[in-house]
Every structure is written in C-alpha cells, then in structure tokens.
Amino acid sequence: MGLKRALTLKAASLVVVLLFVLLLTTIIIGATGISDKILNGMVQDNLRAIRQELAREIRNPEDLERALEKIKEDLIRSYGLDKPWYVRMPDMIWRIVTLDLGNSRTVVSFSGSNKISDIILERLPNTVLLMITVLIINFALSLMIGVRVATKPGSFLDRLISMYSAVSYALPTWWLGILMILVFAFYLKIFPFGGMYSTPPPVDPLVRSLDLVWHLCLPVLTLVIATSGSWIYITRSIVITTAQEDFVSIARAKGLSERIVLWRYIIRPAAPPILTNLILSLAAYLGGAILTETIFSWPGMGLLYFEAIMSVDEALILALTYMYTLIYVIARFVLEVLYVIVDPRVRYA
C-alpha cells in the first residue's frame, strides 16, 4: 500500500512537471504568434495537397480557386485559426503531446518523410541507445571506483578523483567532444569523425553492429569522461559521510568483517542518497547528450535540435523540447521506482 502510494505521488508530481512545460511552451508560442505560424503552415501544406487532387477533377481554374477558397476557410476553422490562441490552447497541447505539428520545412527523415512525428520517432531510438549505454557505464564506474576510493580517503587515487571531478565539472562536454575528434579521428585516425554507420553502411548484420559500436565509441567515451567524474565523486562523498556514522563504528566494534561493514553498514544506507544525487544529475547529463550528438553528428534528437535551430524551425524545436521533457520525466520515474526499492523508509512512511 505504502509503496503504491509513494509511487503514485511521484508519478503525479512528474506529470505536473510535464504539464507545466507543455503549458509554458504553449503560452509562449501562443502569445508570440508562433502557434499561428505553425498552424498556418499546416493549412498551407494541406491546401497544396488538396489543390493537386482537385486540379485533376476541376478543369476550370476559376471554379478550382473558388473551391479551394472554401476548403481553406474550413481548414482555418478546423485548425482553430479563427479563434484567439488562448481559446485553442487545449487543442495545441494535445497537438504537441501527439506530435501532430505538421511538416518540417527543411529537415527530412531517413525514410524521406518530412512529417515532424516521423522525423522525431525515427531518431528517438538513436538518442536512447547513446544515453543508456553511457548511463550503464557511469553507474558501474561510480560504484566500482567511488566505493574503492571512499575506503581510503586522502589517498593519491582519492585526490586524483577529486581533481578529476572538479575538472570535469568545468569541462563542457561538447568541447571535450571536439578535442576527442581532433585527437582520435583527425590525428590518430582510429575512430570515425561522427555519424552512426560508415557510408555506405555495411549490409552484413554482424559487421553492421560492429560498425555501430565503432561509431559509438567516441561519443560514449566523451560523455563518460565528462560526466563520470561527478558521479564517482558523489558516491565517494556519500560513502565517506556514511562511514563516519556511529552505527558503522559499532558494527566494527562488534568485530564484523570489513567486507560486511562495507556492504551492509555503509553502502546499503548510502544507496538512497547516492541515487538521489544521480537523479539530480540526470538533467545535466541530458544536456550534455544533446550537444554530444551535435558534435558527433549522431543522428538522434540532439542533432535534430541543432538542425532545427539552423533552419529556424519552430515546430520542430517545440516538439523536441516536449520529447526531451518526456524522456527526462520517464527516466526520473524509473529512478524513483528504484529509489523506493532501495529505501525502505519511503515504503513504510
């Protein structure tokens, strides 16, 4: 019961976040007239398609124009363009949620469609692939190195990690990516400059997946170097703080083996705060991923942001902002579930 309640509460608050972002973006695009622009673009796209169809049936140009005029009026009414932006806000929010935002002006999906939903959904898996790979590596590193360092605070390795985390906090992920390309792709020529597959992509599935891994190396390495420092450091700090608790001293005094003390009396109670901090660093990590995709021309949604900014495509940017919030909210929720599992206090509160 307690578990369900805790999770429902978390889910509700995350839905509020999503709604807030949707509301904020809709109000902004409404008040600045951008939503009119997007809807007008959709009306025009529709009209163009209808004109081609009608032109086959109606030969007389005047009749055609008149028929089109009427269809245009209907379209304007159906898209709500005859009403002020705040009246059609719910409609607009629904459009964003379902990614029904019409066509992109310049960006085309790999399959040739220029519908925004097609473009985004096609790129989503690529982004998720990159992010999850890095997430797993970071998590493993922070547990392995963070705990080891925490057992010997003040050691050379500990100082090195502290330094590394400080430096990585000040290190823009995207610039690190540039350095990586310069060193590993331009000078050493061991990794590709970017992209996801070689051109032309290999046909054989095994070679193809190896090619993917080869292309994945630099962006993953970049993101791991840039973000793992703080993860390791957070783990280390929390473990050190927990290690100074009285119950740890008592456990040691009882004569428990160092291994049991470490895992049961230090890491176990340290797990919830570690997770909290990881949850908090998720947003920063998401930002780093957007820029890393841009640097490595990784065909995900981050690169799409860059392309949308370059071609001044408001609808695409709107859709991407929503999608990233959605990804973030989902990732948060998954971590919250984990949190509830590791922290019994939440369950029984």
Partner 1 sequence: MSKYFIEGLSEFWASKTSKMGLAFLLIIIIISMYTLFTFPLDYGTRYWNNPKYWADNPKIAMPEWINLFVGNKFLEHNILSTSTIQKMYPSGAYYIKTYEIVYDLMADQFPTFITLKFDNVTFFSRPPTIEVLVIRPDNSTINLYKFVVEPPLSTEEPPYSRYVVEPKRIMLSGEPQLSLVLSNFLLDKYNLSIDPKDVAEIGYEKVIFGEPYENGFKPLKGKYVFTTTLYARDVRDQIGTVSIVIGGQVYGLMGTDILGRDLSQGLLFGFPVALLIGIVVSVLTTIIGATLGIVSGYVGGRVDEIIQRVCDVMNNIPQLPILIFLTFIFGGKLWIIVVILVLFGWPSLVIVVRSMVLQAKSSSFIEAAISVGASRWRIMIRHVFPQVAPYILAQMIFFTPSAILAEAALSFLGLGDPSIPTWGQILEYGFRNGAVFLGYWWWVVPPGLMIVFSAITFVFIALGFEPVINPRLRRWR
Q: Which of 108, 157, 283, 330 binds partner 1 (CB under 8 A)?
A: 283
Amino acid residing at 237: S
List the interface residues with partner 1, window 234-273 (CB under 8 A).
237, 240-241, 244
Residue nearer to partner 1 on the CB measure, 207 or 309 = 309
**What phi, psi does 140 have (nearest 5°)?**
-60, -45
User: Does the protein bind partner 1 through residue 34 (CB under 8 A)?
Assistant: yes
Closest CA to 181 of 284, 294, 310, 303: 294
The token duo for 188 is 């050493």
Minimum distance from residue 133 beta carbon to partner 1 (Å):
19
User: Does the protein bind partner 1 through residue 198 (CB under 8 A)?
Assistant: no
Cis peptide before 200 (omega within 30 of 0): yes
Q: Which of 67, 286, 337, 338 binds partner 1 (CB under 8 A)?
A: 286
User: Does the protein bind partner 1 through residue 231 (CB under 8 A)?
Assistant: no
User: Does the protein bind partner 1 through residue 318 (CB under 8 A)?
Assistant: yes
Alpha helices in 32-155 (DSSP H): 34-57, 61-78, 89-97, 116-151
The token duo for 292 is 């890393």
Residue nearer to partner 1 on the CB measure, 261 or 316 = 316
Residue 115 β-bridge partners: 103
Q: Which of 71, 129, 306, 342 binds partner 1 (CB under 8 A)?
A: 306
Closest CA to 339 of 281, 269, 275, 268: 275
User: Does the protein bind partner 1 through residue 222 (CB under 8 A)?
Assistant: no
Assess contact for 228 and 141: CB atoms under 8 A: yes
* Distance between CA atoms of residues 66 and 255, nearest Å: 93
The CA distances from residue 97 to 20, 24, 108, in Å, are: 13, 14, 21
User: Does the protein bind partner 1 through residue 135 (CB under 8 A)?
Assistant: no
Q: Residues binding partner 1: what is the number (CB under 8 A)?
A: 58
Q: Which of 25, 104, 126, 227 binds partner 1 (CB under 8 A)?
A: 25
The CA distances from residue 152 to 147, 195, 341, in Å, are: 9, 42, 29
Binding site for partner 1 (CB under 8 A): 13-14, 16-17, 20-21, 24-25, 28-29, 32, 34, 153-154, 158, 162, 166-167, 169-172, 174-175, 178-179, 181-182, 186-187, 193, 237, 240-241, 244, 280, 283-284, 286-287, 290-291, 294-295, 305-306, 309-310, 314, 317-318, 320-321, 324-325, 328-329, 332
